[in-house]
Amino acid sequence: MSLEIVMNGQDFQRITSAAFEPFLKELGYLTDNISISGRFYRVFYKAHKNVISVSYEPSDRALFVMIFTRNGDELSDIDDTASTPRLSDLNSRFMHTVSVEKRKENENYFKSISACDDDERLLLKCAKELRLVLPCYLNSIEV
């Protein structure tokens, strides 16, 4: 029987700091709050019009990336996918528009970040995808 390795809070913080923070900062997002507990790990990145939530639940090995719309101090309802799209929604809408050149450049952008297990690789994959589709989404809501 093999023991499965599950990403811990330090690993979550390491990957989010290295993979999400730099490009989100370039887009005007600031790290607002990071929560590490036994039940979940979560970090929020805030900008003027929206908040990005990256969360991981170790017991379920579930990873969620959501973009909340800000209305003053209020955030859009988590169940309203029109106002709170998930990364998978953005991928469906915009990934097909991303050029091969952008995808290659994106891989190079992240090449110095190492992931040690499947959960870390999934978190890194989400950062790569978000970097490609978030600008498309932000442009679509500016119109």
What pLDDT, in 10s, does the model give residues 23-68? 999 999 999 989 998 889 999 999 999 999 999 998 888 999 999 9
Q: Count of domains in the chain? A: 1
| Distances in whole angstroms, Cα of residue 19 to Cα of each of 25, 64, 123, 140 | 11, 15, 9, 24
Write out the residue range of the structural domain in which residue 88 sits: 9-142
Distance CA 59, CA 102 (A): 35
Angle at 124 between CA 88 and CA 10, to 5 degrees: 120
In a domain, 32, yes or no: yes
> How many Cβ atoms are within 10 Å of 83's Cβ, its own excluded?
15
Confidence of residue 2 (pLDDT cuts 50, 70, 90): very low
Q: Is the pLDDT of residue 75 over 60?
A: yes
